[in-house]
Amino acid sequence: MNLSILLPTETLVDREVAKVVAKAPNGFFCLLPRHADFITALAPGILSFTTPEGEEIFVAVDEGILVKQADHVWVSARNAAMGPELGRLNEAVSQFLQRRDTHENKTVQAMSRIEAGFIRRFLDIQRHA
C-alpha cells in the first residue's frame, strides 16, 4: 500500500509501505494492505511504518487525521518529523506539545484581554446612559 504524510507546506512521505502503526486518542492501531477502509483522528505521538524490505521508520506526528482507502493511507498533520532514532523523535513530540501549549496559553491571554476591554466599554456605556 502507499503512505502519504502531508504537512501544510510539504509532502513528508510518499512511498510504498507494508504496514503502518499509529496512535489514535483511544490507543494504537496497525494497518495492513488488506484491512478495511478506515478514518481516525491521530493523537500526538510516534507513527511507524515498515517498508516492503522490512525496514521500520519512525515519524513524530502532531495531531492529525489518518484516512485509509483501498491501497492508500493518507496522514494529514500540522507538524511531523522523520528520523532514524526513536529517542530523538520522542523529543520532537515533546517540543510539539510544548509549542502547542504555549500557543494555546497566548490565545487564552489574548481572549481575556478582549473580554476585559469589552466589559470595560459596556460598563462605560451603562454609566453614561
Q: What is the CATH number of the domain that holds 38?
A: 2.60.15.10
3-state SS record for the chain: CEEEEECCCCEEEEEECCEEEEEECCEEEEECCCCCCEEEEECCEEEEEECCCCCEEEEEECCEEEEEECCEEEEEECCEEEECCHHHHHHHHHHHHHHHHHHHHHHHHHHHHHHHHHHHHHHHHHHHC
Q: What is the domain extent for residue 103?
A: 2-128
Total-model pTM: 0.69
Q: What mean pLDDT is reported for the chain?
A: 88
Give the chain's domain count.
1
Give per-residue pLDDT as tens, 10-67.
999 999 999 999 999 999 999 999 999 999 999 988 899 999 999 999 998 888 999 9
Q: Taking residues 66-84, report their average pLDDT.
A: 90
